Structure 1
Amino acid sequence: MAVEKQQIGSVWTRPRRGREQPALTREQIVAEAVGLLDSEGMEALTMRQLGARLNAGATSLYRHVANRDELIELVVDEVYGEIRVPEIADPADWRTATETCAESMRAMILRHPWMASTLGQVGLSYLGPNVMRLNDGLVGLFEAGGFPAAEAGDAISAVMSYVVGMGISEAAWLALLARTGQTEQELIDQLRPAAEEAAKDYPRFQQDDWDMNPTERRDRKFRYGLDRVLDGLNARRG
């Protein structure tokens, strides 16, 4: 008896439905979903809530996306379209261009803090058109920068893994800030006594940058790690 193969549940693995409600498009749904996520977070994203924001019933949304998981795939691909990958003609420009792309990706994650809880469970995100364009641009950048074709993918993965890891940590922190309603400096000032008390018996864990601007502190930490990753990769260029 033949066993019917189960279809992979992803918006990128099924044909887009031909009949679309004229008053509502997939693009409108995705744009509104991004707005909802930015303002209220991942917990607020339901088909019912999104339909209310669009003045449409949940049934109307299902004409365009099969379920919430497909919607998340679409919004993730949408915000990946914000990332800039410069093109270069001179291999010597590789590092500056890669820094620009890394900063662009970090900025995207921080604009959309809900990404912190999403990137690890987003399904087949790599099949989305914006992610495909991003990856194609990165391969072109790294090959133009002198990386062997067989090594470019691993080099790109090293940079992107660092950016995503740091970005997720920052986004989680910013999401906490949003929930408290405090500024970053206010929350740090509030936490400082408890943190100093907890570290008093651990001199190697003393923090000496409490008075530094918190945004500048996060920028410095991100840039330090990125520079070390790029230092290592730079030695691999042809």
Structure 2
Amino acid sequence: MSAPGSAEWWTDLAGERPKLSRDLIAEAALRVLDGEGLDALTMRRVAAELDTAAAALYRHVENRDALLVLVVEKVLGEVDPAVPPGGWRERAEWFARGFRAALTRHPAIAPLLVSVPTLGPNALKAFEGGLRVAAEAGFPDELAVASCQAIAFVVRGFAVLQAGDIDPLVVAAGSLGGVAPGALPKVEAFSADAQPTQADELFEFVLASVLDGLAARFLAVTGREPG
């Protein structure tokens, strides 16, 4: 056995594999998800990623459903809850863009956004950040919660749409597929000259529209502009 603190001792430490934990399992699962997709995300595959037996995982994670929850929670941990100072709208935009960026880095997560509960610490920290932005702008409690949910729905919806094989965010010019000429004159006129709408541009448009609506609702409820 090498002496503690010797070069050999440090080399031995570097070669040791850390003990399994839920966090390490979640990290490995996210690597599998990013590299191979959702269908490949199994307990056996994650165990192989960690160079261990599948049975070892079950001591920390009950089943695949629990694994999926941990993966979503891991991605939500990339959303920075520390929203910078500024006006309500700028802070809300910053939060929404940061949330979207985290989901965009892991496109295979999209199907889980509508099927996995998000009540873990990271998810709640992100929600806390959004609520803080609304509360500090003077939003009443119910409107603050609704505003956070509305922004989250926009971000999640775009993530799900963009993850599809056919991207509905892009309007392709001239694709009227089988519609008789003259049957849809407005669509035909638009389609003849339309340029593809990029996802980023459409996201910003929808986000701005939602924030406009929230500001109008705030004004109607409080009689003033959000701070």
Q: Which sections of structure 1, spanning at least 5 residues, go unmatched? A: 1-20, 178-183
2-structure distance, mates of 1:146, 1:88: 17
- Measured after TM superposition, the shift of residue 89 of structure 1 is 5.0
> Is the 8 Å Cα contact of residues 109 and 168 (structure 1) preserved in structure 2?
no
Aligned residues: 197
> Is the 8 Å Cα contact of residues 106 and 167 (structure 1) preserved in structure 2?
yes
Give the equivalent residue in structure 2 for 1:137. 129
Q: Which sections of structure 2, spanning at least 5 residues, go unmatched? A: 1-16, 219-225
1-structure distance, mates of 2:104, 2:85: 30
Correspondence for 1:156 among 145, 148, 151: 148
Give the equivalent residue in structure 1 for 2:31. 35
Letter in structure 1 aligned against 2:45: Q
> Is the 8 Å Cα contact of residues 81 and 125 (structure 2) preserved in structure 1?
no
1:100 and 1:88, CA in 2 relative to 1: closer, same or farther beyond 3 A? closer
Which secondary structure does the structure 1 equivalent of 2:79 belong to? coil
Give the equivalent residue in structure 2 for 1:227. 208
Does 1:202 pair with 2:194? Answer: no
TM-score (norm 2): 0.77
- Measured after TM superposition, the shift of residue 208 of structure 1 is 5.6
Letter in structure 2 aligned against 1:135: F
Higher mean C-alpha deviation, range 35-44 or range 100-109: 100-109
> Is the 8 Å Cα contact of residues 28 and 49 (structure 2) preserved in structure 1?
yes
Give the equivalent residue in structure 1 for 2:61. 65
TM-score (norm 1): 0.74
Give the equivalent residue in structure 2 for 1:77. 73
Larger Rg: 2
Moved over 6 A (4+): none
1:28 and 1:88, CA in 2 relative to 1: closer, same or farther beyond 3 A? closer
User: Root-mean-square deviation (CA), in Å?
Assistant: 2.6
Higher mean C-alpha deviation, range 145-154 or range 55-64: 145-154
Which secondary structure does the structure 1 equivalent of 2:163 belong to? helix
2-structure distance, mates of 1:76, 1:38: 12
- 1:144-183 map, 5 Å: 144-172=136-164, 176=165
1:152 and 1:71, CA in 2 relative to 1: closer, same or farther beyond 3 A? same
Give the equivalent residue in structure 2 for 1:118. 112
- Measured after TM superposition, the shift of residue 44 of structure 1 is 0.5
